Amino acid sequence: MTTRYVALLRGINVGGKNRIRMADLVAAFEAHGMADVRTYIQSGNVLFGSDEPDRAALTLGIEAMLSEAFDYRAVVTLRSHEELRRAVEEAPAGFRSEPERYLRDVIFLLPPVKPAALLAMVPLREGVDEVAAGTDVVYFQRLAARRTQSRLSRITSLPLYQYLTIRSWGTTTRLLAMMDG
């Protein structure tokens, strides 16, 4: 049975590093046996279907394929259609309102990291930043008017940074809409 996934790739097309064209990503996934491959924006979001029943093997296979094809150390987290839907539906009350007032992101965690571990370390600026835990994500919002005071960028200095990837709320909901459609 084919399962629909979104592969969230870490560290491509950011700051001029690991530049990969989306057409090349599609071709690589198709050559690796994936079905109905599509990408969304340049930040490493690949939607696809796979018959591989072993998720860990699928993830490792994709990472090895990307590392070989594009000569970088690929790190990928997969979310099934149901898991992505849960990440959107679990968002805290108010996370979907006042888009002009808040900037919002979903921090997708890679195993073995759990939301509580990241919440214990994430730096926050009182009155600017707010976080909440989901099942396997952390929701981060900050006041748009004070975005330069947010401490979201400090996440990159945390030891756990290598085990997460961040997508805006808009990208997250658009990926779900693409999977739904």
Amino acid at 180: D
Residues of the chain with pLDDT under 50: none
pLDDT of residue 96: 81
Q: Is the Cβ–Cβ distance between 146 and 102 less than 8 Å?
A: no
Which domain covers residue 15, as residue numbers? 3-83
**Total domain count for the chain?**
2
67 and 103 assigned to the same domain: no
Amino acid at 129: D
The CATH number for 122's domain is 3.30.70.1260
Could you give the strand order of the β-sheet that contains 76-80, starting from the edge strand earlier in sequence?
A: 35-40, 45-50, 3-9, 76-80
158 and 175 assigned to the same domain: yes
pLDDT of residue 75: 94
Between the two ends of the chain, the Cα-to-Cα distance in Å is 19
Give the C-alpha distances (Å, rounded to integers) separating 146 from 6, 26, 48, 131: 32, 38, 37, 16
114 and 164 assigned to the same domain: yes
Which residues touch 143 (CB under 8 Å, ≥6 apart)?
101, 102, 103, 127, 128, 150
175 and 95 assigned to the same domain: yes
pLDDT of residue 59: 97
Written as one string, the DSSP assignment of 23-50 is HHHHHHHHHTT-EEEEEETTTTEEEEEE
pLDDT of residue 16: 66
Domain boundary pick from 54, 83, 112:
83
